[in-house]
Amino acid sequence: MTKLKLLKHHQLAQIVSEQFKQFSQVQAVALGGSVVSDKGEAGSDIDLYVFTTEIIPLEKRQDLVQQLGASKADLNLTFWDLGDEWIDKSSGIEVDIIYWDTKWIEDMLDGVLVKQQSWMGYTTCFWRSIKNAKILFDREGWLTNLKTKTQVVYPEKLRQSIIVKNHAVLRSVIPSYLNQIKKAIQRGDLVSLNHRVAALIASYFDIIFALNRVLHPGEKRLLETALVECEKLPVDMAQDITNILRSAAITNHQVIMDINTLLDHLDDLLKQEGFLV
């Protein structure tokens, strides 16, 4: 990725941010994703977090995109978070706007940092998103204050909670992912198998990142991030995961053996670190 291309991404992000400043509902705008971490590629999009106190009317957002210029636009997307996406006409760069309510993101961080509540996978991903986001606009210093709250030591209680909660569901309890995978194989249910393998890997990585006190990167570059940022890793982790993903596509019992190998190696590491598994 050339510095010139990254520069174009940053410049476009700033231009879009300037347009959002006009709306009184907008408290702050920040750049996230691969561009801000300098891992961007030629086809990388621009991830912009727009923090609002209430929803900006659709017609105003339509006017904004029209003024900026788009070769294609999909607005008011509600598949996940509320969002707008378009292709910048002059550069061809995809712009991905994610609207986050200020109270909602405050509550999400409070649940993790203050209440120290663990999830089934991805526990600290919003913490990482806010901590690493580049502020482009901050009307009253709200986002600056929120980012300050993310500059804390990884809470040990949270670390323990993530590991214990996610480890149990791997293969310890009756409705564990492994047991569900076995049943899916017996049924010849490839769709269910894929779904449960993905959930198992999500909980697996939540454990890995928590063990190393590394904030979760989200859905992308999980293996790459773990290999680069985590000092304590199970033996043959990358190969074990590769084996699972390959054998899961065949829907036979090889995937069970591969999963048990992955989890045996994980348990060996957890025992070394003093966890009772």
Q: What is the pLDDT of residue 35?
A: 86
Q: What is the pLDDT of residue 38?
A: 67
Q: How far apart are alpha carbons 52 and 72 in whole angstroms?
A: 25
Is 100:15 a contact under the CB 8 Å cutoff?
A: no
Q: Tell whether 21 and 90 lie within a shared domain.
A: yes
Q: What is the pLDDT of residue 5?
A: 62
Residue 113 located in a structural domain = no
Instruction: Enter the pTM of the model.
Output: 0.92
Q: Tell whether 143 and 161 lie within a shared domain.
A: no
The alpha-carbon radius of gyration of the chain (Å, integer) is 21
Q: What is the pLDDT of residue 251?
A: 72
Q: What is the pLDDT of residue 241?
A: 98
Q: Tell whether 17 and 137 lie within a shared domain.
A: yes
**CATH code at position 172:** 1.20.120
If you count DSSP H runs as helices and E runs as strands, how many of each does the chain have, helices first?
A: 12, 6
Q: Which amino acid is at 110?
A: D
Handedness of CA 224, 228, 230, 232 (dihedral sign): positive
Q: Tell whether 90 and 218 lie within a shared domain.
A: no
β-bridge mates for residue 30, sequence order: 49, 135
- Count of domains in the chain? 2
Q: How far apart are alpha carbons 34 and 47 in whole angstroms?
A: 8
**CATH code at position 46:** 3.30.460.10
Give the residues of the chain that fall short of pLDDT 50.
1-2
Q: Tell whether 135 and 42 lie within a shared domain.
A: yes
Q: What is the pLDDT of residue 6?
A: 78
Closest CA to 162 of 214, 223, 221: 214
Q: Tell whether 76 and 35 lie within a shared domain.
A: yes
Residue 89 located in a structural domain = yes
Q: Tell whether 168 and 182 lie within a shared domain.
A: yes
Q: What is the pLDDT of residue 1?
A: 46
Is 68:88 a contact under the CB 8 Å cutoff?
A: yes
Q: What is the pLDDT of residue 37?
A: 76
Torsion of CA 268, 192, 81, 97, to 10 degrees: 80
Q: Which domain holds residue 80?
A: 3-103+129-150
Coil/strand/helix, residue 91: coil
